[in-house]
Every structure is written in C-alpha cells, then in structure tokens.
C-alpha cells in the first residue's frame, strides 16, 4: 500500500511543490514541474506485485498451515514413543509389539486424503518419512521374531532380530556362518533405522518450526 500510495502521489505531484517553486523561483533555481511517470509506474508496479504475492502465495500458504495445525491437533504425533522405537532397534535390536503398532500408525498417520497435510514442504517431509519407515518396517517384519518364546504373562510381546543367529539369544552353539549372517542383518538394520530416524527428525523439526507441536 505504501508503494501504491507513493506512485499515486508521484502522479499527483508533491504537496510542497508550489511552495518550493515560489521560493526557489525568486533566486532563479528552476524546478522541473513535469510529472515523472516512470517513477510512478515503478512504484505502483512494485506495490501491485507485493499485494499479488501476499494474496496468491502468502495468504494461501497461511490457510494451508492453519488446516495442518488443526489436523495435527486432532492427531498429535507420538514423538517420544517413535524415538524410543528407533533407539531400541539400534541399541538392543529389539522392540515391543506396542511400539511396533505405534510406528505403523506414525508412517500412515497423514496418508489418508481425509487428513492429508496441506503445506507442500510438510507433506513432502511426511512422504519421505513414510517411504523410509515402510522400508524399515518391511525389514523388521521379515527378520524379527518373538523372543523369548515364553511371554505368556506379558501381552506386550518382545521381538528380536534373528534370535537363532545371535549367540546371546537363541544360538545354541557358536557358528561363524550364523554370526556373519547376523552381522549383515545388523548393518542393514542400522542403515534403515538411521535413514528413517533422520526423515522423522526432519518432519518433527518442521512441525515444531510451524508451531504444530
């Protein structure tokens, strides 16, 4: 609005121009009284460009962020629980069934069109996390098994990475081939977990920056 007002004022001429013309005219200093159309046009173009940017980009982005804020308030991410899930995979090569359920919910949390994220960058970060998390989840489902076998008193089952290949778990006697296989699985687990955790941290950082959590 300031640029537009400046452009209009330039077209109309400043209020002090007649007074200055009278004063400087007495000492033979001439002032150009012609209207500077180029300056007026530039000022008004800048003003209109700023208004268009605000209306078509900033206001639309603000509406999308507001929708996301409402969506996330109705379904807040379980940040601490998901991070503990990652930590247990890396530190102990294990997880509890309740944590696995929470992890599955996390990487599908905003996948449904009814609660999809509207902000482009936030939605992109969630899509990246979901992709990495699904790759990790697929690996976990293929290579983790209930351990120990008898957990009747605990409904929150504990799962471990290939217990039969781990001398500290279910490998009866040392077998170099089994140990090598376990080490390969362990490296894959570390790679997939760290990638999913990095994606999740980027998403969480974005949500915090926007004030959603």
> What pLDDT digit, counting tens, does each position of 24-50 carry?
555 454 444 444 555 656 655 665 565
Mean of pLDDT values over 122-138:
97
Q: What is the pTM of this model?
A: 0.72
Least confident among 16-20, 87-91, 149-153: 16-20
Do 122 and 186 touch, CB atoms closer than 8 A?
A: no
Mean pLDDT of 150-172: 90
- Is the pLDDT at 197 greater than 80? The verdict is yes
pLDDT at 114: 86
Instruction: Judge whether residue 125 has pLDDT over 90.
Output: yes
How many Å apart are CA 126 and CA 20, to the nearest integer? 63
Q: Taking the domains of the chain in order of start, what are their residue ranges? A: 2-73, 75-209
Residue 143 has pLDDT above 80, yes or no: yes
> What's the pLDDT at 151?
80
Residue 57: CB atoms within 10 Å: 10
Query: Above 90 in pLDDT, residue 192?
Result: yes
**pLDDT score recorded for residue 82:** 97
Distance (Å, whole) CA 15 – CA 23: 14
pLDDT for residue 59: 55
Answer whether residue 152 shows pLDDT above 70. Answer: yes
Over residues 162-174, the pLDDT tens digits come to 999 999 998 888 8
Measure the CA dihedral 62/63/66/68, to 10°: -110
The answer to whether the CB of 146 falls within 8 A of the CB of 159 is yes
Alpha helix (H) ranges present in 54-148? 59-74, 79-92, 97-106, 120-143
pLDDT greater at residue 57 or residue 69: 69
Structure confidence at residue 41 (pLDDT): 64
Residues linked to residue 161 through DSSP beta bridges, in sequence order = 144
């Amino acid at each position: 609005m300031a640029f537009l007002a400046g452009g209009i004022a330039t077209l109309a001429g400043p209020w002090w121009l007649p007074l200055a013309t009278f004063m400087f005219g007495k000492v033979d200093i001439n002032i150009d009284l012609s209207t500077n159309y180029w300056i007026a046009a530039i000022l008004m173009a800048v003003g209109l460009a700023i208004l268009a940017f605000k209306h078509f980009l900033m206001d639309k982005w603000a509406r999308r962020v507001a929708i996301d804020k409402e969506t996330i308030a109705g379904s807040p991410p379980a940040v601490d629980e998901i991070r503990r899930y990652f930590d247990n995979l890396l530190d102990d090569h294990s997880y509890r069934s309740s944590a696995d359920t929470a992890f599955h919910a996390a990487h599908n949390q905003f996948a449904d069109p009814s609660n999809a994220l509207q902000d482009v960058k936030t939605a992109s970060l969630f899509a990246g996390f979901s992709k990495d998390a699904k790759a990790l989840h697929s690996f976990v489902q293929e290579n983790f098994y209930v351990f120990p076998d008898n957990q009747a008193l605990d409904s929150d089952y504990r799962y471990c990475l290939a217990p039969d290949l781990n001398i500290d778990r279910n490998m009866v006697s040392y077998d170099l081939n089994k140990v090598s296989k376990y080490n390969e699985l362990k490296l894959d687990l570390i790679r997939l977990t760290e990638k999913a955790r990095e994606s999740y941290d980027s998403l969480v950082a974005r949500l915090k920056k926007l004030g959603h959590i």
